[in-house]
Amino acid sequence: MEKPYERDIDEALVDIDGNCLPWEKPHARAYPAMASALGRAAGLPYEQMVREMRQVYTRHGTIEYAALVQEMDSFQIPPKLPSGKKRDKLLRRQQELIDLVRKARKKAMAGVNDGPYKNVKKLLKVLRANHLDITALSDAPKNLAFLRLKTSRLLDKFDRVIGTRSPSDELFDPRFHMEDKPFPIPVLESDLPKPYSNLEKLRHVTAEEVSRNFIMIGNSMYSDDGLARRNGMLFYHSLWEDGTAEDRAILAEFAPEALPAAAEQTVKKEPLITHPGYEMVDVEDPLLIIEDLHRRQLITLTPEP
């Protein structure tokens, strides 16, 4: 009989989107609403707005790039345009469109983005009671990932957040600046999105420590599963994301056309090889993760205070 892989977990990596919080369903409503609002306000075709949005997202390698309007072809302000009344007028119009998109996005997501999935808080509570560090992972810009946890009232359940690079505050209205505000928990920046997140550097651990001491909870069979494979983690593949094929088809219209160039180069240099410690478990409810960890004697259901 094959000897079980030795584990002694002390950290849980939890992908935010689709595991803690709904992502596909609310965003499949948000992006068309944003494109429609921009098209109506500017008198431009919806299809053109979709195309320009996708161009911005492709350039930055993420569908959640926040400085969207400022970089769309139809609304950019020529960098060589000197200060004066014309530039001030364009800046005011740009800000109006940014606020319009923000409101359209929020309205479209209302009712389908109201909080965490059932039993997620219970799962995080049990992991914390067992003295595990809990790291929130996201391929979204780190500031956006932080805000998502804050608004959903999950922030106090995590020890840190790891996201990708956020746009500079210089691109935003001063009301939304974050760089001068202290974060209540560490907010770290990964050089690359999953599955190539630089965990060893960010968490100051070795590859072997990640394999034996970390678990991964996620729903993506590319990014989350890939991260677990290359690091040899016990991976809980969550199946409770409630997006539909129609939702995914809508999102595909806006999604980047390819991986960011940096990620493509990483794939060429570092092929995704499965570490021998890798193991995947499908779970349909967060409580099943608790049960499986307890069965493996990696946690106790009644931890000491």
283: left (phi over 0), alpha (psi -120 to 50) or beta: beta
The residue that leads in pLDDT, 27 or 177, is 27
Burial (CB count within 10 angstroms: exposed 0-12, middle 13-18, buried 19+), residue 51 = middle
- Name the CA dihedral angle for 65, 286, 13, 113, rounded to a multiple of 10 degrees: 20
Q: What token pair was written down for 264?
A: 């493509």
Q: Assign 277 a pLDDT band (cuts: 50, 70, 90).
A: very high
The pLDDT of residue 170: 65
Q: Assign 1 a pLDDT band (cuts: 50, 70, 90).
A: very low
pTM value?
A: 0.88
The closest of 294, 245, 233 to 15, measured between CA atoms, is: 233
46, 36 in Cβ contact below 8 A?
Answer: yes
Superfamily classification of domain 11-22+114-295: HAD superfamily/HAD-like (3.40.50.1000)
Average pLDDT, the chain: 88
For residue 265, pLDDT beyond 70? no
Cα–Cα dist 161/186, whole Å: 6
The residue that leads in pLDDT, 265 or 140, is 140
For residue 81, pLDDT beyond 80? no
Model confidence pLDDT, tens digit, residues 93-131: 988 999 999 999 999 998 887 789 999 999 999 999 999
- The alpha carbon of residue 115 and the mean position of all alpha carbons in its chain are separated, in whole angstroms, by 15
